[in-house]
Amino acid sequence: MPRLFSLLILLVSVFIYSSIFHDVWESRKQVRTDIPAGYTIPSKFSRILSLGHQGILSDFLFLKVATFIGGKSGAGEILNEDDWQFVIQSLNVNTDLDPYFVDPYVLAEGVLAWDAGKPEEANQLLKKGMEYRTWDWRLPFFIGFNNFYFLKDYEEASSYIMRAAELSGSPAYLKTLGARLAYYGGKSKTALLFLEEMLAEASDPLLKKRLEVRLVALERAVLIEEALDKFKIQEGRAPKKISELVSTGYLIVLPPDPYGGKWGILKNGRVFSTSKLANAPQKKATKKEPTSQ
- Contacting residues toward another protein, per CB under 8 A: 44, 47-49, 51-56, 58-59, 62-63, 66, 98, 100-103, 106-107, 203-204
| Coil vs helix vs strand at 197 | helix
Task: Name residues whose C-beta falls within 8 Å of residue 183's C-beta, 6 or more positions apart in sequence.
Answer: none
DSSP structure class, residue 111: I
- Secondary element (H or E) of residue 202: none
Residue 114's alpha-carbon distances to 38, 64, 79, 150, 233, in angstroms, are 22, 20, 13, 9, 35
Nearer to another protein, 101 or 259 (CB): 101
Nearer to another protein, 198 or 265 (CB): 198
Nearer to another protein, 94 or 275 (CB): 94
Strand partners, 272: 264
Q: Compute the distance between CA of residue 217 and CA of residue 272 in angstroms, rounded to an integer.
A: 11
Q: How far is the CB of 61 from another protein (least distance, A)?
A: 12
Burial category of 277 from C-beta neighbours within 10 Å (exposed 0-12, middle 13-18, buried 19 and up):
buried
| Helices (runs of H) and strands (runs of E) counted in the chain | 12, 2
Q: Compute the distance between CA of residue 289 and CA of residue 279 in angstroms, rounded to an integer.
A: 12
Q: How far is the CB of 133 from another protein (least distance, A)?
A: 8
Q: How far is the CB of 74 from another protein (least distance, A)?
A: 15
What is the identity of the amino acid at 95? T
Q: How far is the CB of 141 from another protein (least distance, A)?
A: 15
Q: How far is the CB of 129 from another protein (least distance, A)?
A: 12
Nearer to another protein, 105 or 160 (CB): 105
Nearer to another protein, 36 or 42 (CB): 42
Q: Compute the distance between CA of residue 165 and CA of residue 156 in angstroms, rounded to an integer.
A: 14
Nearer to another protein, 18 or 168 (CB): 168
Q: How far is the CB of 5 from another protein (least distance, A)?
A: 33
Strand partners, 271: 265
